[in-house]
Amino acid sequence: MNFPADLKYTESHEWVRVEADGTLTIGITDHAQDALGDIVFLELPEVGRTVGAGDALAVVESVKAASDIYAPVAGEVIAVNESATAAPESVNADAFDAWLFKLKPANADDVNGLMSADAYKASVGA
């Protein structure tokens, strides 16, 4: 299991990378993709959608289950990863390379409230 230290994490198993311009790149964690099994479909949000922290805004479906993906912070969706929707199995291959969407946060400081890699690792018992 991989827990990159340069990322932030949520209890609902999303990872968050803060980009140089302050935007956020978001995907699901290695732990989440492993628990889901073979991912067969992704439903990503529309660009321009405004979300609140904790809002469900995407769905990942696997052979086992469908799970919501939540906004880690409030903001606006500014991009979605079309290559991931075309090849959802890419999330299983590398959960940290196959990002799902990007957000422009309403308040950049909200990211500070997310979990560190060590805190997330402890929360999943790894």
Q: How far is CA 30 from CA 18, 64, 97, 126, in A?
A: 18, 16, 10, 12
Within its chain, how far is the Cα of 7 from the centroid?
11
pLDDT tens sequence across 60-76: 999 989 999 999 999 99
Enumerate the H helices of 13-78 as residue ranges: 30-36
* In 1-126, beta strands by DSSP E: 8-9, 14-18, 24-28, 39-43, 50-51, 56-62, 66-70, 75-80, 101-105
- Which secondary-structure segment (H or E) carries 67? strand 66-70
Q: How far is CA 4 from CA 7, 15, 95, in A?
A: 6, 9, 11
* pTM metric for this prediction: 0.94
Query: Quick one: fold of 8-108?
Result: OB fold (Dihydrolipoamide Acetyltransferase, E2P) (2.40.50)
Full pLDDT tens readout for the chain, 126 residues:
889 999 999 999 999 999 999 999 999 999 999 999 999 999 999 999 999 999 999 999 999 899 999 999 999 999 999 999 999 999 999 999 999 999 999 999 999 999 999 999 999 988
Going from N- to C-terminal start, the domains of the chain cover 8-108
